[in-house]
Amino acid sequence: MGTVDNELKKNGIQVVGPIDNRSVKDIAIYVARTLCYKFPDLKLNFNTLFISITRLKMYIADMTQNMSGACYFYKNASIYFQKGLSLNQIKRIAVHECIHYFQEIKDSSGKLHRMGLCTYFGNRAYGNALNEAAVQLMSAYATGERRDTVTYYGITLPTDSPSYYPLLCNLVKQIGYLTGFSVLFESTFYSNDAFFDKFKNALGESNAYAIQRNMEKLLSLESKIVKINNKIQTKELPYYQFKSATDKIARCKNDIQRTFLSTQSLIISAFFDSRLSKLETPTQIENYRKYLYSFSNLIGTTSTYSFFNDYYIRKMAALDAIYENRADQNVGLVPVKESKLSKLFGYIKKLFTGNKEYQGENIK
């Protein structure tokens, strides 16, 4: 058995058979058209994409340990799809795997050096989870995946990808909101440093790497749950082994919730803390408030997660103090009625704390 076959077996992939040439052509047409139409800023060429995709080998396979229903394997430039999927389902999933194919950068010996936002040094990969999430966010947008609010691991969150990597996609969308999505998608597809440089600049280098590591942890924990569940479902386990397995799943789920929430809180505080001292004018102060407030539409929450509300209230008080300080120092603020700005901050702060005096009050 060859090296590729061994690696496929190790990853739980057992080939059932190849996909016929006509279906491969249909897949290539769909993927090329979708990418060209949805991402005009990437300056993609339909014919180039189509020809490249038709050269890929595509197979149906049993994939017991795979979370996404498909897998691109760079060593033999092949895509494996989960048995039982319709052609239409395969077309949509193929967008993600074909992006991986276009991402790859190899050295002269054929060794993988980079894939999108993921870099390989020796036998280690850095940024794999970040890249998977970015590729899936691109794929969900390209295929018109319906945005939804879902609950996983006790976390209720909005996501563009309810079925595949919902937590990771939520986090990468939070980051993209702060860095800009154009640079995120460009770096994801063309495997350059523009996005990560902007990521580090926006949140701080140490924070960016910490967030990247946390995303790796989330991907690893979810993969671990899939493997344990597969073991439970395919083997007759004695009670003590079954109990041990379910306990491990419960610990993984708790760890996922803690890691997700702490990562989200870090994204918020790292970005907005760093910009507070740079505010000078009433317009900047108000734009900061709106930008932070709109971030509430992106976050995941639990019944006990209060970080964002508490953070928002603290920042409203800080903005009020900054405004007063700038006005007292006469540093060129455009004159505005103090009562209007003060009422706005007071309304928001008391709205979050549930003060009945402000409920239903109109801001004019």
As a whole number of angstroms, the distance between CA 218 and CA 224 comes to 10
Provide the pLDDT for residue 163. Answer: 87
Q: What is the token pair recorded at 159?
A: 């996501």
Measured at the alpha carbon of residue 172, what is the angle toward residues 167 and 173, in degrees to the nearest 5?
95
Provide the pLDDT for residue 313. Answer: 94
Provide the pLDDT for residue 2. Answer: 65
Instruction: State the CB neighbour count (10 A cutoff) for residue 56.
Output: 20
Query: pTM to 2 decimals?
Result: 0.86
Provide the pLDDT for residue 346. Answer: 52
- How big is the chain by its Cα radius of gyration, in Å? 24
Using the CB atoms, write b or e for 75-104: b if 16+ within 10 Å.
eeebbbbbeeeeeeebbbbbbbbbbbbbbb
What domains sit in the chain, N to C, each tagged with a CATH number? Answer: 1-103 (3.30.2010), 277-358 (no CATH)
Spans in the chain with pLDDT lower than 50: 330-342, 345, 347-364
Which of these, 146, 145, 170, lies nearest to 157 by C-alpha position?
Answer: 170
Cβ atoms of residues 331 and 282 within 8 Å: no
Q: What is the token pair recorded at 303?
A: 């019944």
Q: What is the DSSP letter of 359?
A: T
Measured at the alpha carbon of residue 122, what is the angle toward residues 120 and 124, in degrees to the nearest 5?
55
Provide the pLDDT for residue 65. Answer: 61
Provide the pLDDT for residue 235. Answer: 83
Cβ atoms of residues 285 and 182 within 8 Å: no
As a whole number of angstroms, the distance between CA 7 and CA 73 comes to 10
- Return the H-helix or E-strand segment holding 139: helix 128-142
